[in-house]
């Protein structure tokens, strides 16, 4: 096997596969000449090799390499490992390719034993410091190697003691260690190091790491690297500290460093969230020169990595050391703001900005907030706003009960003193997380932000007693199952259910999406027919309406009655009465639509569903309808029976309806044209009606309906003394239509792919029943995913490519859209981009994601 250890000088940031994220970035910072304590990395190759072996022992070759690396560290630091007057101590940390905060293990102060602790005490002149470090090593070692929890050792000893007292304490620690592990604490420091490396490798497969990987789609096969680095001590003296810092605010994305530090503490103290740290700006008062250096480094790192960084640092006796840097986890809001600002600052390109934002972030960003009035309500506790959002749910005090409640379909809010990596599963199913302790970088805060879950930490007025299932606050208590509302943006927690506001787009997102539009070649339209949804579509940035399903307009009581009259009428007068009623109603709808949209295009589809969908199933209800419409009830029953279909999706619907009941389409076309004329006149604009025929499968169907439309339109223009441009097009949603697309293009002004029906008919899967077997299919990898959600490029997509290419070849001016569900799906958009298609059209709530996806597909 090739070499398995690398010095910091040897690696670079691109080697994350081999050195893990932490290791690769330590190498990079070393290359940048930043103050990084020296060290080396045991590679992920070595980890995989170790995990594959039965013996679960480091190979002799690896041990040999580690010994040589330690020798090198000794030479660099002029210290000696395990012996001598000036002992070398190291930290041993895990570091996988993808950061897994708190999931794997760390050991600090390794290299101390009964001898070197005295040497450290002597050389630092600080007996308390040296022995504290030793106690901590024993406790961490027991924890990481043998899973003995820290509580067994009681509270970490602090304060001043005589050397004798300390020796007593250490002996106690060693006794506890031996009692819990069945071993004595190893005095050979090389043995300590080898066991520690083995333990870190093994921690790759601990339960919480596995769960974290599953939740974040990280492969189990990667393995972790181990970073071994010379210790620097944040707990060394009064002018020592440890801290974490984001180069920008990870919750909001605002510019300016953001973080926390603890004086006289070691790194783990911050992450564990046990002592509440100071905000970083306080460092400007305590150690201004260090603060300035830190700011300089923040800028240097951001420029170098071209992204917001999350750094760990230690100050030892007034000197700053960098221990880690990585791209910081952030909320969706921060992600969008940071990407936009970095682009504005010239650090990244427009393309990079677009690629940095993902569709899921937008979805989360558009989460609701509590109403302004609701927010005036008195909060029961107030903490730090660790991850924004607004959530309502029932209180659970343990990850276990959170999981149980979530399984019962109850929205859960996990309330704890602090969270630990074991809680990860419970956290992931919660609507929000509230903790009484910890700062903005505590475990709860970091994990919640990564998952986009609303989170409030450090609610100091809250005291959680999980064994009793109760939490106390100044004016009362919370019990399991109580409903609370959590505002992750203000840090306030309220009792009861607060009303929520519909989510609104942020100003920055608006700007980003405008930039996206300028990069896209596909336009995004909305599928909408009600005034509310049309307005929403326009607000979300739709360039028009690609599909208005007119059948959705008939479900109001009176209209439904008239529709039924039209279907069931026993004489022409009743048919005409129903038609003229519906024409007026439809016209009013279309006027409203045109009024909202102005000259933005609006594609109105003529009636599509089988007529029996407008009728009830039950005989009793049919009789009532007969009575209501004054039609012979036997006749109604017979008509209803004759309309019933065994396979209605393949029955009398779409254009077939237009052919068999031409008066319905004629009525609709009349209403469309009258409305367009009326609003064009009124608003002094030119509305171009786009009339769409559904479910066309033959040339003759389309030509017949087009002819009948033209007659109505001609008459209408004549009557009103006004002409408007107009388009008549067809849905392409039957495989046969794809195959004869060239002929259809001779007649149609536009095509719109109805991928819902096209998928249904291409696969022969009923779109209403396929869910019953699709999960089995995807689970067994028979299908990669649900083709109704993610376009099947291989099959359905092939038909679409054929049809769109043939269509455009035949008629260059033919406009082509996709208006099925997949029109709003990022993965499908990626494929649609490869077709000669002009726009996608989707539900209003998906429009922002689709705009982003179209830009990504184009660049």
- Counting contacts by CB under 5 A, is residue 757 touching Mg ion? yes
Judge contact between 806 and 748, C-beta under 8 A. no
**Quick one: which of 713, 819, 837, 842 contacts ligand PEP (CB under 6 A)?**
819
CB 386 within 8 A of CB 492: no
CB 755 to ligand PEP: min, Å = 5
> In whole angstroms, how close is the CB of 561 to ligand PEP at the nearest point?
23
User: Would you say 237 and 212 are in contact if contact means Cβ atoms under 8 Å apart?
Assistant: no
Q: Choosing among Mg ion, ligand PEP, none, which partner's interface includes residue 749 (Cβ < 5 to 8 Å by kind)? A: none
Q: Is 754 in the site for Mg ion (CB under 5 A)?
A: yes
Q: Out of ligand PEP, Mg ion, none, which partner does residue 597 contact, by CB within 5 to 8 A per kind?
A: none
Name the DSSP letter for residue 266.
-
Q: Contact region for ligand PEP (CB under 6 A) — 2-10, 458-466, 631-639, 750-758? A: 750-758
In angstroms, the Cα distances linking 732 to 419, 609, 694, 704, 741 are: 53, 16, 8, 17, 8
SS (H, E, C) 127-138: HHHHHHHHHHHH
Question: Which among 270, 264, 268, 322 is positioned nearest to 126, based on CA atoms?
Answer: 264
Among 28, 674, 733, 749, binds ligand PEP (CB under 6 A): 733
CB of 784 to ligand PEP, least distance (A): 20
578-617 binders of ligand PEP (CB under 6 A): 608
On the CB side of 237, CA atoms within 13 Å amount to 11
The correct pick among 105, 312, 757, 792 for binding ligand PEP (CB under 6 A) is 757
Asked if 820 interacts with ligand PEP (CB under 6 A), we say yes
Q: Which stretch binds ligand PEP (CB under 6 A): 138-146, 241-249, 413-421, 755-763?
A: 755-763
Q: Residue 154: count other Cβ atoms within 10 Å of its Cβ.
A: 11
| Partner from ligand PEP, Mg ion, none contacting 689, C-beta within 5 to 8 A by type | none
Q: For ligand PEP, which residue has the nearest CB?
A: 754
CA distance 387 to 251: 6
Residues forming beta bridges with residue 177, ordered by sequence position:
none
CA 25 – CA 180 distance, rounded (Å): 37
How far is residue 500 from each of residues 255, 334, 373, 428, 740, measured CA to CA in Å? 29, 22, 10, 22, 50
Cβ partners under 8 Å of residue 679, min gap 6: 591, 594, 595, 685, 687
Residue 701 interacts, among Mg ion, ligand PEP, none and using kind-specific CB cut-offs from 5 to 8 Å, with none
Give the closest residue to 206 by CA, choosing from 421, 446, 42: 421
List the interface residues with Mg ion, window 714-743 (CB under 5 A).
733
Asked about 771 being catalytic, the answer comes back as no
Q: Is 821 in the site for Mg ion (CB under 5 A)?
A: no
Q: Which is nearer to ligand PEP, 234 or 754 (CB)?
A: 754
Taking residue 168's Cβ as centre, other Cβ atoms within 10 Å add up to: 12
The nearer residue to ligand PEP, 539 or 552, going by C-beta atoms, is 552
Number of residues that bind ligand PEP (CB under 6 A): 10
428 contributes a contact to ligand PEP by CB under 6 A = no
CB atoms within 10 A of CB 294: 24
- Could you say which of Mg ion, ligand PEP, none residue 427 binds, taking C-beta under 5 to 8 angstroms by partner kind? none
Please, what is the minimum distance in Å from the beta carbon of residue 549 to ligand PEP? 5
Q: Report the DSSP pairing between strands 839-842 and 470-473.
A: unpaired
Which helix (H) or strand (E) segment holds residue 756: the answer is: helix 755-763
Residue 798 neighbours by CB distance under 10 Å: 13
DSSP 541-592: T-SSEEEEEGGGGG-SHHHHHHHHHHHH-SSHHHHHHHHHHHHHHHHHHHHH
Residue 454 among the catalytic residues: no
Which two three-digit tokens encode residue 712? 């109505």
Q: Which of 249, 324, 586, 755 binds ligand PEP (CB under 6 A)?
A: 755
Strands 381-382 and 384-387 turn out to be unpaired
Q: Which of 157, 421, 754, 797 binds ligand PEP (CB under 6 A)?
A: 754
Catalytic residue among 27, 454, 459, 819: 819
Q: Which is nearer to Mg ion, 442 or 804 (CB)?
A: 804
| Binding-site partner at residue 389 among Mg ion, ligand PEP, none, CB < 5 to 8 Å by type | none
Min dist. Cβ of residue 422 to ligand PEP (A)? 46
Q: Is 792 in the site for ligand PEP (CB under 6 A)?
A: no
When the beta carbons of 324 and 730 are compared against Mg ion, the nearer one is 730
**According to the 3-state scheme, what is the secondary structure of 56-95?**
CCCCHHHHHHHHHHHHHHHHHHCCECCCCCCECCEEEEEE
Q: Which does 327 bind (CB under 5 to 8 A by kind): ligand PEP, Mg ion, none?
A: none
Among residues 490, 576, 756, 789, the one that binds ligand PEP under rule CB under 6 A: 756
**Which range of residues in 306-314, 735-743, 754-762, 798-806 is near ligand PEP by CB under 6 A?**
754-762
Of 389, 392, 387, 412, nearest in space to 402 by CA: 412
Cα–Cα distance between 464 and 423 in angstroms, integer? 15
| Alpha-helix residue ranges (DSSP H) falling in 416-544 | 424-428, 443-451, 507-519, 531-539
Smallest separation, CB 582 to ligand PEP (Å)? 19
Contact by Cβ (8 Å): 303, 348:
no
Answer yes or no whether residue 526 interacts with ligand PEP by CB under 6 A. no
| Nearest distance in Å: CB 567, ligand PEP | 19
549 binds, among ligand PEP, Mg ion, none (CB under 5 to 8 A by kind): ligand PEP
Q: Which stretch binds ligand PEP (CB under 6 A): 125-133, 218-226, 635-643, 751-759?
A: 751-759
Residue nearer to ligand PEP on the CB measure, 547 or 737? 547
Q: Minimal distance in Å, beta carbon 822 to ligand PEP?
A: 8
Residue 611 binding result from Mg ion, ligand PEP, none, given CB thresholds of 5 to 8 Å by partner type: none
In eight-state DSSP terms, residue 833 is: T
Closest CA to 21 of 260, 254, 312, 382: 312
Among 87-95, 527-535, 566-574, 757-765, the segment contacting Mg ion (CB under 5 A): 757-765
- Measure the CA–CA gap between 126 and 134, rounded to whole angstroms: 13
Query: CA 411, CA 422: separation in Å to the nearest integer?
Result: 21
- Choose the catalytic residue: 47, 118, 135, 443: 443
Q: Which of ligand PEP, Mg ion, none is residue 755 near (CB under 5 to 8 Å by kind)?
A: ligand PEP
By the 8 A CB rule, do 745 and 814 touch? yes
Does residue 525 sit in helix, strand or coil?
strand
Binding flag, residue 825, Mg ion (CB under 5 A)? no
What minimum distance in Å lies between the beta carbon of 742 and Mg ion? 22
Our finding on whether 549 is near ligand PEP (CB under 6 A) is yes
What SS3 state is found at 12? coil
Residue placing its CB nearer to ligand PEP in the complex, 82 or 824 = 824
Residue ranges binding ligand PEP (CB under 6 A): 547, 549, 608, 733, 754-757, 819-820
Interface residues with Mg ion (CB under 5 A)?
Answer: 733, 754, 757
Catalytic residues: 443, 819
């Amino acid at each position: 096997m090739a070499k398995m250890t690398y010095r910091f000088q040897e690696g670079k940031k691109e080697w994350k596969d081999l050195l893990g994220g932490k290791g690769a970035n330590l190498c990079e910072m070393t290359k940048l000449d930043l103050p990084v304590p020296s060290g080396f990395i045991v590679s992920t190759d070595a980890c995989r090799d170790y995990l594959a072996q039965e013996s679960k022992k480091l190979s002799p070759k690896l041990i040999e390499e580690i010994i040589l690396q330690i020798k090198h560290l000794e030479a660099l630091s002029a210290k000696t490992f395990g012996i001598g007057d000036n002992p070398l101590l190291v930290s041993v940390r895990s570091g996988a390719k993808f950061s897994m905060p708190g999931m794997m293990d760390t050991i600090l102060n390794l290299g101390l034993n009964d001898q070197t602790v005295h040497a450290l005490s002597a050389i630092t002149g600080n007996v308390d410091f040296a022995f504290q470090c030793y106690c901590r090593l024993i406790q961490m070692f027991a924890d990481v190697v043998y899973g003995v929890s820290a509580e067994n050792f009681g509270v970490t000893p602090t304060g001043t003691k005589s050397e004798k007292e300390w020796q007593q304490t250490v002996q106690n620690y060693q006794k506890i260690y031996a009692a819990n592990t069945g071993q004595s604490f190893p005095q050979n420091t090389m043995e300590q190091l080898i066991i520690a490396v083995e333990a870190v490798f093994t921690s790759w497969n601990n339960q919480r790491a596995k769960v974290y990987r599953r939740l974040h789609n990280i492969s189990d096969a990667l393995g972790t690297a181990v970073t071994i680095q010379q210790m620097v001590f944040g707990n060394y003296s009064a002018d020592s500290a440890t801290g974490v810092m984001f180069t920008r605010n990870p919750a909001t994305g605002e510019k300016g460093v953001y973080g926390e530090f603890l004086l006289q503490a070691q790194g783990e103290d911050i992450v564990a969230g046990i002592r509440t740290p100071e905000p970083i700006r306080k460092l400007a008062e305590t150690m201004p020169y260090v603060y300035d250096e830190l700011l300089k480094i923040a800028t240097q790192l951001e420029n170098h990595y071209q992204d917001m960084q999350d750094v760990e640092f230690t100050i030892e006796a007034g000197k700053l050391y960098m221990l880690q840097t990585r791209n910081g986890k952030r909320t969706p809001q921060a992600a969008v703001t940071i990407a936009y600002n970095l682009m504005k600052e010239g650090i990244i390109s427009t393309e990079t900005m677009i690629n940095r934002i993902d569709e899921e972030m937008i979805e989360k960003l558009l989460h609701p907030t509590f109403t302004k009035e609701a927010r005036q309500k008195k909060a029961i506790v107030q903490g730090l706003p660790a991850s924004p959002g607004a959530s309502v749910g029932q209180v659970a005090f343990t990850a276990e009960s959170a999981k149980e409640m979530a399984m019962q379909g109850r929205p859960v809010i996990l309330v704890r003193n602090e969270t630990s990596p074991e809680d990860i599963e419970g956290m992931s199913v919660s609507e929000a997380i509230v903790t009484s302790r910890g700062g903005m970088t505590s475990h709860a805060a970091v994990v919640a932000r990564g998952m986009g879950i609303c989170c409030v930490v450090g609610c100091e007025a809250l005291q959680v007693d999980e064994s009793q299932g109760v939490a106390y606050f100044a004016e009362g208590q919370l019990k399991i199952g109580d409903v609370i509302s959590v505002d992750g943006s203000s840090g306030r927690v309220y009792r009861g259910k607060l009303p929520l506001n519909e989510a609104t787009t942020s100003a920055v997102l608006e700007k980003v999406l405008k930039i996206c539009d300028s990069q896209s070649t596909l336009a995004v339209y909305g599928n909408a027919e009600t005034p509310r949804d049309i307005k929403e579509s326009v607000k979300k940035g739709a360039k028009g309406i690609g599909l208005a399903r007119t059948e959705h307009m008939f479900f109001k009581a009176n209209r439904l009655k008239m529709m039924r009259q039209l279907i069931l009428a026993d004489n022409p007068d009743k048919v005409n009465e129903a038609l003229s009623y519906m024409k007026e109603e439809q016209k009013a709808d279309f006027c409203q639509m045109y009024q909202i949209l102005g000259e933005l295009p609006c594609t109105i589809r003529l009636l599509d569903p089988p007529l029996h969908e407008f009728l009830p199933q039950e005989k009793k209800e049919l009789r009532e309808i007969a009575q209501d419409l004054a039609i012979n009830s036997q006749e109604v029953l017979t008509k209803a029976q004759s309309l019933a279909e065994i396979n209605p999706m393949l029955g009398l619907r779409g254009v077939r309806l237009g052919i068999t009941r031409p008066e319905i389409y004629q009525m609709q076309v009349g209403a469309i044209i009258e409305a367009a004329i009326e609003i064009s006149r009124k608003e002094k604009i030119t509305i171009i009606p786009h009339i769409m025929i559904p479910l066309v499968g033959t040339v003759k169907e389309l030509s017949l309906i087009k002819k009948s439309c033209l007659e109505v339109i001609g008459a209408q223009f004549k009557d009103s003394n006004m002409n408007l441009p107009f388009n008549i097009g067809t849905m392409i949603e039957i495989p046969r239509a794809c195959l004869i697309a060239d002929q259809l293009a001779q007649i149609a002004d536009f095509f719109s792919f109805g991928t819902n029906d096209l998928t249904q008919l291409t696969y022969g899967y009923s779109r209403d029943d396929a869910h019953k077997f699709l999960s089995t299919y995807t689970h067994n990898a028979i299908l990669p995913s649900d083709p109704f959600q993610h376009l099947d490029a291989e099959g359905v997509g092939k038909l679409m490519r054929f049809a769109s290419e043939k269509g455009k070849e035949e008629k260059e001016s033919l406009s082509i859209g996709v208006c099925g569900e997949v029109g709003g799906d990022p993965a499908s958009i990626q494929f649609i981009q490869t077709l000669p298609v002009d726009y996608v059209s989707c539900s209003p709530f998906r429009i922002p994601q689709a705009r982003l996806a179209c830009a990504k597909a184009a660049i």
